[in-house]
Chains A and B, each alone.
Chain A
């Protein structure tokens, strides 16, 4: 089996520049191909083209052709042949898992008995038989990812495309997924995975293709990762990144003897449907950066919500800057706390970028619009948003929207910053830009920071201490070296299979 893309170009409707120009690539059955590129490099566009979404579903101008075994894909042959796992894994069609998985079969007119048989078979293969009766909205990120992949595979397509499949997953879950994909590839299918970092490429891929600005700039064996990675600094492997810089704050301004910014005492919060956190004891000293890591569903976000009063402790206490967080209303507590959530689209609502930032400051301070405008100018300039400040927030890319959300958070000069997966969909260049903006003293603030992340590199490079949260309990807390180099702890926190953690531990032993 052979997939070949020949001189493919694509331009989105209403855009001047082409998203893809003159793409040529070939893949054969049994191959695990990595498509590496930074934000806006055209990875998603290329996968969508191969999946046949252009130009009917996504409008634009397409030229060139995509052939499978010499036959043209899409076009007259309307029935789609490919499995495509979208980056937006949280989007699904039907309320129940079983319906979701069986939908493609229903569309091809299988009888109910046969549908049931096929779904049962594939569920056994992927070991998800117990999920079939569940509701989609009760699944964890990892479970939903597997369901999406199974749905893409149910009609046994020759090609499986995955767009950033590891974003929602903890490192061990990502590793398991890669092993699973490898077994699928071994059965003769073509698998193409789009990623924005070289992290997993050399250990699992057969081949890598590097995209930048809509062009293929290199195509090589996956073993040549080290040679090629210098071409795209935005996708650098965590290990390579860690060699170049480690951007910690020289926070000499920490005044000892000052009271803790955040302090929790025996904090408990249980959900009725299970899960939650238990017996959390944490202290955050002024000027410190604390990373919270742990597997999917360990209660990280639940813990964060207590610091801003969105959840009230069922047992125990949370003291934030001397106040009992459960007793102060959220908007009052928010005046000195900035919290950056995962998805900027959950909050952006103004029609201009600068208005969004100014609104935030005005709401927090209850001051006049003019005063807020004047105070926001330095933030807008420092974050490099000056040029685009009059544009509509949804007309700029996602990574810019994340910067806008950050600006809204920084505008009130909070003394405590809470970050929930701040760099989830950002490439290495954007990540370091965002983090250095956060940590640089140029903004005139030196907040204490709590950040939740799955990325061991981010933790290692930017935090002073790491707290591991497993099954709702605090497993350990210590410096990044102490935690990440400890084999036992990282195994329990499902971090041990991340290439960067492996690298740190190997180096420690040597």
Chain B
């Protein structure tokens, strides 16, 4: 069965859940958030992709755990070299980070950029287009950067040189990248015109179905519970 949720509902639910995650302090609640995200990802069939996107953040969290357990000034009790207070603090921050990353990626993975562009376009029609152009422009800029780095290195530029050399190298690389971006923008303006973009795009209304409302209310409920726990129990 294919479940079709509207982008707006997903976006609203994600925002509510994000606030809830920020308010959460209890460890078991954070575990609940993470398990919930994984469960939803599994149901949506994006579990593997989600793990892949999470991996770099896992490393950051591990690093945070290490640093806080070693040098956090609040460390009083020690297990071997590791301070437990810092470890607990880092665990909390780390899990919150993972929760936020999971929620945002869950949204991005289950929404095509086309739907996202359309949704942002509802806030303001041009905003959606700008967002879309930005998404397509990033990999192009990255490639351009790599190309120019290669070309200038082949011209003898050594950007592992001393500091002064590095600043000069920076100019030799950044100027062609900027010029190429301007050129690209010039042709993109032509393309926008040729493809009939007039800035008066008709925005598609989305009408929420039962499932959308269910998602919205359940995330509102979770947020209220999280806030209740935060202020009633701590």
Residues of B within 8 A of A58 (CB): 190
Q: Is B202's beta carbon under 8 Å from chain A? A: yes
Shortest distance from the beta carbon of A445 to any chain B beta carbon, whole Å: 17
Q: Is A272's beta carbon under 8 Å from chain B? A: no
Residues of B within 8 A of A95 (CB): 113, 132, 135-136, 139
The stretch from B74-82, B89-97, B191-199 touching chain A is B191-199
Q: Is A46's beta carbon under 8 Å from chain B? A: no
Shortest distance from the beta carbon of A156 to any chain B beta carbon, whole Å: 13
List B residues 114-157 near A (Cβ within 8 Å): 114, 117, 132-133, 135-136, 139-140, 143-144, 147-148, 150-157
Q: Is A475's beta carbon under 8 Å from chain B? A: no
Alpha-carbon separation in the docked complex, A112 to B115 (Å): 11
Q: How many A-B residue pairs have CB under 8 A?
A: 139
Helix, strand, loop or mixed for chain B's interface? helix
Contact B154 A339 (CB under 8 A): yes
Chain A interface size range: 35 or more
Alpha-carbon separation in the docked complex, A294 to B171 (Å): 36
Which residue of chain A lies nearest to B113 when distances are taken between CB atoms in the complex? A95
Contact A363 B155 (CB under 8 A): yes
Q: Is B234's beta carbon under 8 Å from chain A? A: no
Contact B148 A347 (CB under 8 A): yes
Q: Is B44's beta carbon under 8 Å from chain A? A: no
Contact partner, B154, options A56, A109, A310, Cβ 8 Å: A310
Q: Could you list 17 examples of A-B contacts with CB < 8 Å?
A: A51-B194, A57-B189, A79-B198, A80-B193, A96-B113, A109-B202, A155-B196, A310-B154, A334-B153, A337-B154, A346-B144, A346-B151, A349-B176, A349-B179, A363-B155, A363-B156, A363-B157
> A-side interface residues toward B, CB under 8 Å?
48, 51-53, 56-58, 78-80, 82-84, 86, 88, 91-96, 98-99, 102-104, 106-109, 112, 135-137, 151-152, 155, 305, 308, 310, 329-331, 334-335, 337, 339, 341, 345-349, 359-360, 363-364, 394, 408, 412
Q: A96-B113, A137-B143, A329-B158 are in contact. List 15 more A-B contacts (CB 8 A).
A: A51-B194, A79-B196, A80-B196, A88-B183, A95-B113, A95-B132, A95-B136, A103-B195, A106-B201, A330-B154, A331-B158, A346-B148, A347-B148, A348-B179, A364-B155
Which residue of chain B lies nearest to A99 when distances are taken between CB atoms in the complex? B114
Which residue of chain B lies nearest to A91 when distances are taken between CB atoms in the complex? B187
Contact partner, B139, options A137, A155, A310, Cβ 8 Å: A137
Contact partner, B191, options A91, A330, A363, A408, Cβ 8 Å: A91
Contact with A along B99-115 (1 / 0, CB 8 A): 00000000000001110
Shortest distance from the beta carbon of A413 to any chain B beta carbon, whole Å: 13
The interface centre, meaning the residue of A58, A82, A99, A104 with most chain B CB atoms within 10 A of its CB, is A99
Contact B157 A331 (CB under 8 A): yes
Residues of A within 8 A of B196 (CB): 79-80, 104, 107-108, 155
Which residue of chain A lies nearest to B201 when distances are taken between CB atoms in the complex? A107
Alpha-carbon separation in the docked complex, A487 to B136 (Å): 42
Shortest distance from the beta carbon of A401 to any chain B beta carbon, whole Å: 11
Residues of B within 8 A of A94 (CB): 113-114, 117, 132-133, 135-136
Residues of A within 8 A of B175 (CB): 349
Residues of A within 8 A of B190 (CB): 48, 53, 57-58, 86
Shortest distance from the beta carbon of A361 to any chain B beta carbon, whole Å: 9
The interface centre, meaning the residue of B112, B132, B148, B196 with most chain A CB atoms within 10 A of its CB, is B196
Q: Is B164's beta carbon under 8 Å from chain A? A: no
Residues of A within 8 A of B61 (CB): none
Shortest distance from the beta carbon of A194 to any chain B beta carbon, whole Å: 15
Contact A341 B194 (CB under 8 A): no
Alpha-carbon separation in the docked complex, A109 to B187 (Å): 24
Contact partner, A80, options B132, B140, B176, B194, Cβ 8 Å: B194
Residues of B within 8 A of A152 (CB): 194
Alpha-carbon separation in the docked complex, A408 to B113 (Å): 43
Contact partner, A104, options B158, B180, B195, Cβ 8 Å: B195
Alpha-carbon separation in the docked complex, A348 to B151 (Å): 10
Residues of A within 8 A of B194 (CB): 51, 53, 80, 82-84, 152
Which residue of chain B lies nearest to A305 when distances are taken between CB atoms in the complex? B150
Contact partner, A346, options B117, B135, B147, Cβ 8 Å: B147
Q: Is B172's beta carbon under 8 Å from chain A? A: yes
Alpha-carbon separation in the docked complex, A356 to B25 (Å): 59
Alpha-carbon separation in the docked complex, A360 to B156 (Å): 7
Which residue of chain B lies nearest to A48 when distances are taken between CB atoms in the complex? B190
Of all A-B residue pairs in the complex, the 3 with the closest CB atoms, nearest first, are A349-B175, A364-B156, A107-B196
Which residue of chain A lies nearest to B129 when distances are taken between CB atoms in the complex? A93
Q: Is B204's beta carbon under 8 Å from chain A? A: yes
Given the known A-B contacts A91-B187, A334-B155, are A394 and B179 also in contact in the complex, defined by CB atoms under 8 Å? yes
Q: Is B184's beta carbon under 8 Å from chain A? A: yes
The interface centre, meaning the residue of B113, B175, B190, B201 with most chain A CB atoms within 10 A of its CB, is B190
Residues of B within 8 A of A335 (CB): 156
Which residue of chain A lies nearest to B177 when distances are taken between CB atoms in the complex? A346
Q: Is B188's beta carbon under 8 Å from chain A? A: yes
Shortest distance from the beta carbon of A296 to any chain B beta carbon, whole Å: 17
